Amino acid sequence: MGTRNEISELPPEADLARADSLAREIFSDLANKWAFLIIEFLGQRTLRFSELRNEIGGVSHKMLTQNLRMLERNGLVRRIVHPTVPPRVEYTLTEAGEGLRQVVDGMCGWTQRYLGHIEASRNRFGDDAAISAIARSDDVPGLK
Amino acid sequence: MGTRNEISELPPEADLARADSLAREIFSDLANKWAFLIIEFLGQRTLRFSELRNEIGGVSHKMLTQNLRMLERNGLVRRIVHPTVPPRVEYTLTEAGEGLRQVVDGMCGWTQRYLGHIEASRNRFGDDAAISAIARSDDVPGLK
DNA sequence: CGGGATCCAAGCCGATACTG
DNA sequence: CAGTATCGGCTTGGATCCCG
């Protein structure tokens, strides 16, 4: 789907449709692991680029830049450039970013709560367990 | 990260460290757009494979299967196979899945709340490049 | 120090075919 | 209908270099 579809005339119901697809797009944009981690760490305090890179760990220069631009574009992150040399660039959350941080925090809490549950489930899944809990044969025509 | 998940008498600090890296891994796993959409739609009601596919829209057979397996492996989604012909497979959220659904719901609410804010920010951000080419239907960018 | 651009490998994802 | 496997294109993402 082309995202460069700028239409000057807005049909009444197209507005809702557009909002919906926009919401879906935002949803897809933000549901990515680097974005979540950035939001989480910036929620704790304002960080410089390299600090953020160290805090997160395992993120490449490119990915971090890319996601920071995306978050900035969507108005979740504010980029503050200090005109010094060497340059000092700080990132902080906007009000919208703080709002999403609540969500991410919720997910962190959820992860802590269900960590054991998840780990157990993984082991169960990897093991070949005879999991056939349901074996109720209904009367189905066509089955020999 | 190591696959040294050997359960033994490990010191409390090591346990925390392991839990931390596991949490990070889970975090990365689940912060993906298809997983979120699946959780959201399954939160509303139990769905069959093809129903889920239709509801979400724009997801390929393969991606849906792949993500459902992942969610099942992590114990968020329960897969119920009815031994009929043709087969009928239903998916529903587990307790852990319901927990994560709260988070996803929160994100949906957040999206609705800040939709206008985000849209405005986007326009502000990209205004330098594509100003002139708006709303002119006769000027088709035919550059080869 | 922060960020853009480029090259190139790795994996993601869609399409298709086949099984039960 | 649901699932697995395979193949190929194309996006992703890492490494590197250079600029302000």
CATH of residue B37's domain is: 1.10.10.10
Q: Do residue B83 and residue A113 have CB atoms under 8 angstroms apart?
A: no
Query: For residues B90 and B46, is the Cβ–Cβ distance under 8 A?
Result: yes
For residue B9, tell me if it sits in a domain: no
Report the pLDDT averaged over residues A88-93. 98
Q: Is the per-residue pLDDT at B94 higher than 60?
A: yes
For residue B13, tell me if it sits in a domain: no
Q: Is the per-residue pLDDT at B110 higher than 90?
A: yes
Percent of chain B with pLDDT over 70: 76
Give the pLDDT score at B89: 97
Shortest Cα distance from B110 to chain A (angstroms)? Answer: 7
Q: Is the per-residue pLDDT at B144 higher than 90?
A: no
Name the domain count of chain A. Answer: 1
Strand ranges inside A9-144, DSSP E: 47-48, 77-82, 88-93
Query: For residues A11 and A51, is the Cβ–Cβ distance under 8 A?
Result: no
Query: For residues B51 and B72, is the Cβ–Cβ distance under 8 A?
Result: no
Band of pLDDT at residue B62, cut at 50, 70 and 90: very high
Report the pLDDT averaged over residues B88-106. 97
For residue B94, tell me if it sits in a domain: yes
Pairing of strands A88-93, A77-82: antiparallel
Q: What gap in Å lies between CA B70 and CA A68, rounded to an integer?
A: 28
Query: For residues A111 and B27, is the Cβ–Cβ distance under 8 A?
Result: yes
For residue B58, tell me if it sits in a domain: yes
- At a CB cut-off of 8 Å and minimum separation 6, what does B110 contact? A99, A100, A102, A103
Domain that holds residue A83: 23-138
For residue A134, tell me if it sits in a domain: yes
Which chain A residues are within 8 Å of B102, Cβ to Cβ? 106, 110
Band of pLDDT at residue A13, cut at 50, 70 and 90: low
HSE-up of A100 (CA within 13 Å, CB side)? 27
For residue A16, tell me if it sits in a domain: no
pLDDT tens digits, A19-53: 777 888 888 889 999 999 999 999 999 999 999 99
B115 vs A7, A19, A138: nearest CB = A19
Give the pLDDT score at B79: 97
Q: Within 10 A of A23 (CB to CB), how many other CB atoms are there?
A: 15
Q: Is the per-residue pLDDT at A1 higher than 50?
A: no
Which chain A residues are within 8 Å of B141, Cβ to Cβ? none
For residue B6, tell me if it sits in a domain: no
Shortest Cα distance from A86 to chain B (angstroms)? Answer: 25
Q: Look over chain B and give the mean of its residue pLDDT values, rounded to a whole number.
A: 82
Count Cβ–Cβ pairs < 8 Å, chain A vs chain B.
Answer: 131
For residue B108, tell me if it sits in a domain: yes
Q: Look over chain A and give the mean of its residue pLDDT values, rounded to a whole number.
A: 82
Q: Do residue B31 and residue A27 have CB atoms under 8 angstroms apart?
A: no
Give the pLDDT score at B96: 97
Q: Do residue A103 and residue B102 have CB atoms under 8 angstroms apart?
A: no
Lowest mean per-residue pLDDT among A93-107, A127-141, B43-57: A127-141
Q: What gap in Å lies between CA B98 and CA B44, rounded to an integer?
A: 10
Shortest Cα distance from B84 to chain A (angstroms)? Answer: 6
Q: Is the per-residue pLDDT at B131 higher than 70?
A: no
Give the pLDDT score at A8: 45
